[in-house]
Amino acid sequence: MFAATTRRERVAWRGLAALLTAQVTIYAAGVDDHPVAGLLHNILYLIPGLLVASLASRAPGPVRTAWAFLSAGLLSYAVANLYWWTFVRDLDPEPLITPADPLWLAFYPCLVTALVLVLRHRLPRVSASAWMDGVIAAGAVASLVSVPVLGAIEPAPHSTVLGVVVNAAYPIADIAVAGCLLGAWALSGWRADRVLGLLIAGMGLFAAADTVSMVLLWEGLDVPAAVDLAWLTALSLLALAARQPSGHTRATRPSLWLSTTVPAGLAVCCLGLLLWAALTAHRIPPVSSVLAGIAVTAAIVRMMASVRTAEALGAARRQARTDELTGLANRRFFVERLERELDRPDPGPAVAYVDLDRFKEVNDSFGHDVGDTLLRLVGARMRESLGPEVLLARLGGDEFGLIMPGTGRDRAAEIVDGVLSTLREPFVLPEVDLHVDASIGIAVCPDDGADRSTLLRRADVAMYAAKTGHGGGPVFATGLDDHARARLTMLEELRAGLDRGELVLHYQPKVTVDAAARVTGVEALVRWQHPTRGLVYPDAFLYTAESADLMGRITTVVLDLACRQSRLWHDQGLPVSVAVNLSVSDLRDPGFPEQVGELLRRHRLPPAALELEVTESVLMTDADNALQSLGRLRDMGVRLAVDDYGTGYSSLSYLQVLPVDDLKLDRAFVSRCGVDPRSAAIVHSTVQLAHSLGMQIVAEGVEDADIFERLRGYGCDLAQGYGIARPQDAATTTAWLLERELADRAAA
Q: What is the pLDDT of residues 40-73, one digit of tens each?
A: 777 777 888 888 888 777 776 667 888 888 888 8
Residue 200 burial by Cβ neighbours in a 10 Å radius (0-12, 13-18, 19+): buried
Peptide bond just before 659 cis, omega within 30 deg: no
Residue pair 371/362 in contact by the 8 Å Cβ criterion: yes
Per-residue pLDDT averaged across 317-338, rounded? Answer: 81
Q: What is the pLDDT of residues 664-717, one digit of tens each?
A: 888 888 888 888 888 899 899 989 988 988 899 999 999 999 999 999 999 999
Q: What are phi and psi of 703, to 5 degrees?
A: -100, -20
Quickly state the pLDDT bin for 19 (edges 50, 70, 90).
Answer: low
Q: What is the pLDDT of residue 27?
A: 61
Alpha helices by DSSP H, listed for 57-99, are 61-83
Tell me the three-class secondary structure of 649-661, residue by residue: CCCHHHHHHCCCC
Q: Is the pLDDT of residue 218 over 90?
A: no
Assigned CATH for 494-747: 3.20.20.450
Do 494-747 and 331-480 have the same topology in CATH?
A: no
Residue pair 418/385 in contact by the 8 Å Cβ criterion: yes
Q: Rounded CA gap, 276 and 271, in Å?
A: 8
Q: What is the pLDDT of residues 434-447, one digit of tens each?
A: 778 888 888 998 88
Quickly state the pLDDT bin for 248 (edges 50, 70, 90).
Answer: very low
Mean pLDDT of the chain: 78
Q: What is the pLDDT of residue 249?
A: 46
Q: Name the residue ranges covered by the structural domains of the chain.
A: 331-480, 494-747
Q: Is the pLDDT of residue 250 over 50?
A: no
> Domain 331-480 is of which CATH architecture?
2-Layer Sandwich (3.30)
Q: What is the pLDDT of residue 56?
A: 79
Specify the DSSP class assigned to residue 513: S
Residue 278 burial by Cβ neighbours in a 10 Å radius (0-12, 13-18, 19+): exposed
Q: What is the pLDDT of residues 116-139, one digit of tens each?
A: 777 776 665 555 555 566 566 666
Per-residue pLDDT averaged across 326-332, rounded? Answer: 88
Per-residue pLDDT averaged across 629-637, rounded? Answer: 90
Q: Is the pLDDT of residue 3 over 80?
A: no
Tell me the three-class secondary structure of 187-218, residue by residue: HCCCCCCHHHHHHHHHHHHHHHHHHHHHHHHH
Least confident among 192-206, 287-301, 303-317, 594-608: 303-317
Query: pTM of the full predicted structure?
Result: 0.44
Q: What is the pLDDT of residue 20?
A: 65
Q: Is the pLDDT of residue 241 over 70?
A: yes
Q: What are phi and psi of 649, to 5 degrees?
A: -90, 65
Q: What is the pLDDT of residue 2?
A: 42
Quickly state the pLDDT bin for 727 (edges 50, 70, 90).
Answer: very high
Q: Rounded CA gap, 268 and 277, in Å?
A: 14
Quickly state the pLDDT bin for 281 (edges 50, 70, 90).
Answer: low
Quickly state the pLDDT bin for 588 (edges 50, 70, 90).
Answer: confident
Q: What is the pLDDT of residue 478?
A: 67
Q: What is the pLDDT of residue 155?
A: 52
Residue pair 512/718 in contact by the 8 Å Cβ criterion: yes
